Amino acid sequence: MAQTLQVTCIGKTHCGGPHERIDYIGGSAWRFTEAQAISFIEGGMFDFFVNAGGRAVRVVVASRSGQKYLKTVGDGESPDNLLGLRECRSSASMGGG
């Protein structure tokens, strides 16, 4: 069974369309690149969620023009719930869980 982690911050690339802007996601003591998070979701290792309006909304893998990216179940094509999160502090290290 997958471990569930809450996403509380992200890192943005500041380029491309909304589905291309997330570089990494993070939580209280962890940070994963978008590619790592996609692999973990697809492999059943981790489930991720965000708090949107007081309720847990699951993060899922989506695809646009053959490119995989992260978004929440409640989003349309654009990962708005994730893009609305604060930027992670640069002092946190990649990996962990």
pLDDT at 40: 98
The confidence score (pLDDT) of residue 45 equals 97
- Please tell me the pTM assigned to this model: 0.84
Closest CA to 49 of 5, 17, 12, 16: 5
Domain spans, the chain: 3-84
- On whether the CB atoms of residues 60 and 70 are closer than 8 A, the answer is yes
Q: What is the mean pLDDT of each run of 10 residues along the chain (97 residues)?
A: 94 73 92 96 97 91 90 74 87 56
Contact between 24 and 8 under an 8 Å Cβ cutoff? The reply is: no
